[in-house]
Structure 1
Amino acid sequence: MNNQVFRDTQEQIVHNTITISQDCDVIKTVGDQNGKILEIKIFERPKKRFSARDSPLTVLFENIHIRTIINLLKIFLFNLIIVTIVREFFNNQQYAWYLLIPKGCDNFHITIFFWVLYYCLTCCTYFFFKMWTNIRTEIIPRKSAFKRMLDIVALLIILGYYVFSFQLAEYIVKTYRLPPVSALFLLLEQTRMLMKVHAFIRSNVPKILKYDNESDVKLELPSFNHFIFFTFVPTLIYKDEYPRTQKIKWWRVVLQIVEIFLGIFCLIILIHNFIHTKYNDFGLKKYSYVELLLKIVELCLPGTIVLVIAFYLILHQVQNLFAEILRFADRMFYREWWTACDFTSFYKMWNVIIHDFLFIYVYRDCCEIFNSKIFSKYFTFFISALVHEWIMINTLGFFFPIMFCCFFLAGTLLSFVKVSQNYRLNILMWLSIAYGTSILISGYTLEVMARSNGVQPLFEKFDFYIPRSLTCDCYI
């Protein structure tokens, strides 16, 4: 449809509705006086809509029957904690304290120091953005060729900062030999802050580029206080305003903090009782393939419980804790992923915070640049898998791309499979999650134990890249 026909049609509109399709293209439906229906498809960047709403689990827990089931689960986990503490205390009094403060948290003070450093660098990006804006809008004339040069230099600087941020995190972890828990916390926070910076810049740059410094309209930039608020608020989508609650429910804050510490302790107990003890002799004795297969199958249930507890702690309790303290009203950090019947739905509902960031700032930008939804989808999965694998590599200290294969290869292929919503398929979905989690945990645990128990590398020069658990003679 050419522009003239479009303008003529607009003049004859008797009704006008706008709907959003699944891929967030805007379809404008217009009708003329003769009754003809015309659809004009407009490629438009989707906008994340925030509203005051609770998390799905918060709503579910209001049901007395669901709350009773959760109480039974808490009793089971509490009994597991008591049994473990009593047993370890009588067997080895010092080891019981080791369960409270795991070895993986050593040098956590170094992690906190560099977290503060990273946060200061994150704040510096705001002042860099403001300096670029002031130079572009107030110093350089409107039609000057220096504007384009300034934009290119600023783009190169911010891309250089992204690379520097990743390189610095690797250097810190390797130089100070941070153990897994301390390293994981620093790497996750570094990645989160970098995503915050990208979201802030990507959302505000278009306003600056469209601004006419000769007009009477005043350019309003986000305040530094709002930027600080954005760095802590539990969302990766930048907005000038967010829905807020009227007051902080401090009783809920205290309850969430208590549950977070108890949940972390439950994870330590589960990992110690059902994962570490299952493979702690790998490399000291030989495993048959049947024995290894049985261990992977036995790990399905505890591995799934660890996954669910980790989800509950990170995506429910921690996010709701910060939301409550900051009076952030939109608590939809995830959706009802446990009802998913295919991986397409699972990926969309499991972590709404990350999904929204990837969809809006990666997938849609790729669609605009390359004009290909298939390529954009593969590229988005690739970026997500690459970052996940980078975190695992630097956390554990070796290259074993199980995470990359699960996210990029298996995840991309399964995301194209769409099925009807059926509870039988939901069972199959849970079986896939259970076995996938077990394989993931088993693979990394075997490699950690092989290196801890002194299994000799096949090639000393390439030890970082060649898994010892796959090249050793520990199998019969």
Structure 2
Amino acid sequence: MEPRAAQLRKREGLRGEQNPFPREDEVSSGSAESPGNTEVPRSPDLVQWTRHMEAVKTQLLAQAQGQLLELLDRAIWEAMQSHPPPGGPPLSTPPDSLSKTWKPSLGKWKVFINRKSLLELMLEFDLLIFSFGQLPLALVTWVPMFLSTLLAPYQALRLWARPRASAAWMLGVGLGCALLAAHTAVLGLLPLHVAVEYQLPPASRCILVFEQVRLLMKSYSFLRESVTGTLRATGGECIRAPSFSSYLYFLFCPTLIYRETYPRTPNVRWNYVAKNFAQALGCVLYACFILGRLCVPVFANMSREPFSTRALMLSIMHATLPGIFLLLLIFFAFLHCWLNAFAEMLRFGDRMFYRDWWNSTSFSNYYRTWNVVVHDWLYSYVYQDGLWLLGGRARGAAMLSVFLVSAMVHEYIFCFVLGFLYPVMLILFFVIGGLLNFMMHDRHTGPVWNVLMWTLLFLGQGIQVSLYCQEWYARQHCPLPQTTFWSLVTPQSWSCHS
């Protein structure tokens, strides 16, 4: 056997033959020979030139990085100068001194400045104060509207309830019709005149138009339910008019269908009333927060940019989330909190103001369960009366009449509140909503149809919020020289790009 030292020398020789490349220490030392190395090593000039190029590259990278950081420091310093921190003087450190304190690092350089979170709940009341501006004027305007509703329909009914054999019956009919004409003029023209003449802001207009529609619907229901017996009277028969107290109670209770009596609860829970009013106020504040944070920054300057289909689609997609938030807030604040508060104060027993519309798998069921109060009025006085006039088989025509009346009232409310006519609601509610009512009917069941309904609701709310916000700010940025009828009905967002 060979000695161990000879075996080690033999292995080193074979390893040198298998590795033809020189080791790093051999190249750096400049040795020309190594055991088993068959390749000509690099010269010292080549090694020195490589080191020089590496040094030049490092110097250039450091210089470029320093210049970029100096530009970044200057931009940050200018931004901090233009937006000084609240409660303190503006930053006076020049940008040159900022760049001198920088030390090169491999990671991203974190810059700390005074800034707020995007969704931070800041109670900024500017939008709320603007929306409810001239609120005392709106409340004063409501007084004659309510008095007209309180006196005119009831007195007209009493005049009509006289025996027909009496000579004064024709005079009473004429006086009753005159009272109703005056009542319609007060409800129809007075709030419109005040809103236009004094330029009421949106929330104050909402109060007037909602009360206008509510009082008109209640007046019609009272006359429709009470005049039936009057018309059926014959000869000298005298019809007893409803009691004034029942009519007064009907004007405040949360229903649009008149009855002389309603189921009543035994007592009033005033803590429940206060909780519902507080929740309604919280919904109003949250709605202002959503508009101020998610809508105003997006749509305030959109009309100043050139119109494009891509920008329109992106704005609609952006408006879907705030749109559905506003829909849910309106539902909870009005249909739950507000109506339950009044029902509790008046001990009104029937509290089914809505049903489980969120579980609907068809739009026909959604329309029936979203707002039961309005649906009952439309079903009783538009759908059923339409069937009576058109015949029992004209169900489709009677249903279309319901959609037409509802769409026109909704569009009128939007026009009254915003101050311009942009028939987005009319098209969505009557055309698209009518088609969906017949296409997505009650035979469709299952969770897939519920998901489809919610998807279409998101899209519809996004379209409404996006288009109405664009039109609102377009009329702010491109004011018309004079207000005419065509200027009110012509969309400004199609042409305003200033």
- The superposition leaves residues 12-66 of structure 1 with CA deviations (integer Å, 9 ceiling, x where unpaired) of xxxxxxxxxxxxxxxxxxxxxxxxxxxxxxxxxxxxxxxxxxxxxxxxxxxxxxx
SS in 2 for 1:471: coil
Alpha-carbon shift at residue 373 of structure 1 (Å):
2.5
Separation in structure 1 between the aligned mates of residue 285 and residue 382 of structure 2, nearest angstrom? 36
Pairs within 5 Å for 1:76-475: 83-85=120-122, 96-99=124-127, 101-134=128-161, 136-137=162-163, 140-141=164-165, 151=173, 154=176, 158=180, 161-162=183-184, 165-212=187-234, 214=236, 219-371=239-391, 372-417=394-439, 418=441, 419-454=443-478, 462-473=486-497
Which residue of structure 2 lines up, in the alignment, with residue 31 of structure 1?
A: none
Separation in structure 2 between the aligned mates of residue 268 and residue 114 of structure 1, nearest angstrom? 25
Give identity over the alignment, percent.
29
Alpha-carbon shift at residue 352 of structure 1 (Å):
0.5
SS in 1 for 2:351: coil
| Pairwise CA RMSD | 2.6
Separation in structure 1 between the aligned mates of residue 363 and residue 481 of structure 2, nearest angstrom? 37
Q: Which amino acid aligns with 1:436?
A: G
Q: Which amino acid aligns with 1:98?
A: D
Q: Number of paired residues?
A: 378
- The superposition leaves residues 264-318 of structure 1 with CA deviations (integer Å, 9 ceiling, x where unpaired) of 1111101111111110112333354323312211221221111111100010110
Closer/same/farther in 2, CA of residues 460 and 188 from structure 1, 3 Å limit: closer
SS in 2 for 1:469: coil
Q: Which amino acid aligns with 1:301?
A: L
Structure 2: gaps (5+ residues): 1-116
TM-score, scaled to structure 2: 0.71
Q: Is the 8 A contact 2:160 2:169 kept in 1?
A: no
SS in 2 for 1:400: coil
Q: Is the 8 A contact 1:237 1:356 kept in 2?
A: yes
Separation in structure 1 between the aligned mates of residue 341 and residue 208 of structure 2, nearest angstrom? 20
Separation in structure 2 between the aligned mates of residue 330 and residue 117 of structure 1, nearest angstrom? 30
Which residue of structure 2 lines up, in the alignment, with residue 73 of structure 1?
A: none
Alpha-carbon shift at residue 127 of structure 1 (Å):
3.9
Q: Which amino acid aligns with 2:148?
A: L
Separation in structure 1 between the aligned mates of residue 372 and residue 223 of structure 2, nearest angstrom? 21
TM-score, scaled to structure 1: 0.74
Deviates most, 446-455 or 227-236: 446-455
Q: Is the 8 A contact 1:457 1:472 kept in 2?
A: no
Q: Which amino acid aligns with 1:421?
A: T
Closer/same/farther in 2, CA of residues 456 and 192 from structure 1, 3 Å limit: closer
Which residue of structure 1 lines up, in the alignment, with residue 40 of structure 2?
A: none
Separation in structure 1 between the aligned mates of residue 390 and residue 175 of structure 2, nearest angstrom? 23
Deviates most, 107-116 or 121-130: 121-130
Closer/same/farther in 2, CA of residues 258 and 208 from structure 1, 3 Å limit: same
SS in 2 for 1:189: helix
Closer/same/farther in 2, CA of residues 133 and 148 from structure 1, 3 Å limit: closer
Which residue of structure 2 lines up, in the alignment, with residue 93 of structure 1?
A: none
Q: Is the 8 A contact 1:81 1:269 kept in 2?
A: no
Separation in structure 2 between the aligned mates of residue 448 and residue 296 of structure 1, nearest angstrom? 15
Separation in structure 2 between the aligned mates of residue 364 and residue 159 of structure 1, nearest angstrom? 25
Alpha-carbon shift at residue 162 of structure 1 (Å):
3.0
Closer/same/farther in 2, CA of residues 460 and 355 from structure 1, 3 Å limit: closer
Q: Is the 8 A contact 1:270 1:302 kept in 2?
A: yes
Separation in structure 1 between the aligned mates of residue 353 and residue 468 of structure 2, nearest angstrom? 28
Separation in structure 2 between the aligned mates of residue 374 and residue 452 of structure 1, nearest angstrom? 42
1 or 2 for the larger relative contact order (CA 8 Å, sep ≥6)?
1
Separation in structure 2 between the aligned mates of residue 460 and residue 390 of structure 1, nearest angstrom? 18
- The superposition leaves residues 436-459 of structure 1 with CA deviations (integer Å, 9 ceiling, x where unpaired) of 001011111000010112266999
Alpha-carbon shift at residue 473 of structure 1 (Å):
4.4
Separation in structure 1 between the aligned mates of residue 191 and residue 480 of structure 2, nearest angstrom? 28
SS in 2 for 1:85: coil
Q: Which amino acid aligns with 2:375?
A: H
Which residue of structure 1 lines up, in the alignment, with residue 42 of structure 2?
A: none
Structure 1: gaps (5+ residues): 1-79, 87-95
Closer/same/farther in 2, CA of residues 158 and 267 from structure 1, 3 Å limit: same
Separation in structure 2 between the aligned mates of residue 259 and residue 167 of structure 1, nearest angstrom? 33
Which residue of structure 2 lines up, in the alignment, with residue 9 of structure 1?
A: none
